[in-house]
Structure 1
Amino acid sequence: MTDERRTVDSPELLKALAHPLRLRILRHLGTTGPATSTTLAEALGENTGTLSYHLRMLERGGLIEDIPERSGGRERWWRGVRGLDIRRPPQDELTETERVVAAELDRLRMEEDIQLAQRFAAEQANSGGWMRGSRSLSHLTKEELDAFHDDYLTLLARYAHSAEDASPDARPVLLRWFGVPAD
């Protein structure tokens, strides 16, 4: 598996990410580990033809990879590419087409984030300690906010485990962070 930093800087990669089914595929591979198009189709309620197309798009974008040692005949096993730190260029460096695609990706991700926040509010008290959260206010310069963000990504990388590498008592945990000026 690769371990690289990569900037999302092509419309093809943004398009690979900015599709609801592809995001669901990536989530499933991340939470449950490797899968075939058949097992993904069953888990996601889609047909294998549709899944195969979207898997190829994700592979072309470098977001998933074939597992040759597990694949055989017509059956291909897929896993998410680990160690990627995908960041897109600043908005002013994107073309108009890339901005439209990036906005769709942001919209899809925000819908998911809102659902997670609602779930957190509804279920946190009965989660047995599995739901943790924090809110804060700080006065930062832009440089300090950038440094905080980089430190957060370093912290995520330190605790990043795939479904295959995690300890038996580990559960998939969705983590979110964003900073917004209060004024």
Structure 2
Amino acid sequence: MVEEPKLHELDARTLRGLAHPLRMQLLSALRRGGPATASQLAEKLGESSGATSYHLRQLAAYGFVEDAPEHGKGRERWWRAAHQGVRFDESLLRDADPAVRGAASVFMHEVASYHSQELSTFIGTRHEWPDDWVSASDVSDFTLRLTPELASELNEKIHDLINSYRAQAAPEGTPGAEQVRLHTHVFPISSD
């Protein structure tokens, strides 16, 4: 049986520590690329090492990143993601505190922007991928008429299906295997 990924439960306090564009980029870079120093992340993200260092310390204060001392030599400080993902509680969007609602909104907008950026990057670089990976990719959208209960059921089934593939994940170093990103978006739209 494959273990579920370790997730960080967002609450009003930790949301404030994450709801910043650079912090979200840093956390994503550590999750995808593994441990790194503030300088390495600064170069990768086109930021100053002072900014990345400050925001990494803020992420650490809220429990999103931690030291990775096994990678460091001397004075180098290496960081790693403390969790594989976050779990967002939509009740944060309705919190009584306007600062919490604002942080939740920033977080959601940054997630949507990041998803769009990832997809755009793939589309712009798909010619660099082998044909079998281009054929295996998918950019689809569907419109269904559902109740909130059916939409929740659909979400649960999609998540269960995705999680069932964790047991089949190719080990590191498997020829032809790559990390694959899946974005799910289920939301109501106006028919106007």
Q: TM-score range by the shorter chain?
A: 0.7 to 0.9
Give 1:5 deviation, angstroms. Answer: 4.7
Q: How does 1:167-178 map to 2 (within 5 A)?
A: 167-168=173-174, 169-178=176-185
What's the CA shift string for 1:24-62, capped at 9, x where partnerless?
A: 212221222211112112222223222111111112222
Q: How does 1:65-76 map to 2 (within 5 A)?
A: 65-76=66-77
What is the SS of the residue equivalent to 1:62?
A: coil
CA distance in 2, matches of 1:75, 1:120: 33
CA distance in 2, matches of 1:18, 1:111: 13
CA distance in 1, matches of 2:61, 2:152: 30
Q: Among 133, 137, 146, which residue is 2:139 paired with? A: 133
Task: Please tell me whether residue 108 in structure 1 is matched to residue 127 in structure 2.
Answer: no
Task: Please tell me whether residue 145 in structure 1 is matched to residue 146 in structure 2.
Answer: no
CA RMSD of aligned residues (A): 3.1
What is the SS of the residue equivalent to 1:69?
A: helix
Give 1:124 deviation, angstroms. Answer: 5.8
Give the 3 Å change call, closer, same or farther, for CA 170–36 of structure 1 in structure 2: farther
Q: Which amino acid aligns with 2:99?
A: T
Specify the alignment match of 2:11 in structure 1.
9
CA distance in 2, matches of 1:39, 1:52: 10
CA distance in 1, matches of 2:143, 2:76: 51
CA distance in 1, matches of 2:163, 2:86: 9
1:7–1:89: 8 Å Cα contact kept in structure 2? no
CA distance in 2, matches of 1:178, 1:35: 30
CA distance in 2, matches of 1:156, 1:179: 15
Q: How does 1:23-34 map to 2 (within 5 A)?
A: 23-34=24-35
- Which structure carries more helix by proportion? 2
1:8–1:89: 8 Å Cα contact kept in structure 2? no
What is the SS of the residue equivalent to 2:142?
A: coil
What's the CA shift string for 1:56-112, capped at 9, x where partnerless?
A: 111222222222333354222222233444112422245211111111222223333
List runs of 5+ in structure 1 lacking aligned partners.
none
Q: Calculate percent identity across the aligned residue pairs.
A: 30
What is the SS of the residue equivalent to 2:36?
A: coil
Give the 3 Å change call, closer, same or farther, for CA 108–6 of structure 1 in structure 2: closer
Q: Which moved more, 1:98-107 or 1:59-68?
A: 59-68
1:35–1:78: 8 Å Cα contact kept in structure 2? yes
Q: TM-score, normalised by structure 1?
A: 0.75
1:40–1:51: 8 Å Cα contact kept in structure 2? yes
2:27–2:81: 8 Å Cα contact kept in structure 1? yes
CA distance in 1, matches of 2:61, 2:163: 24
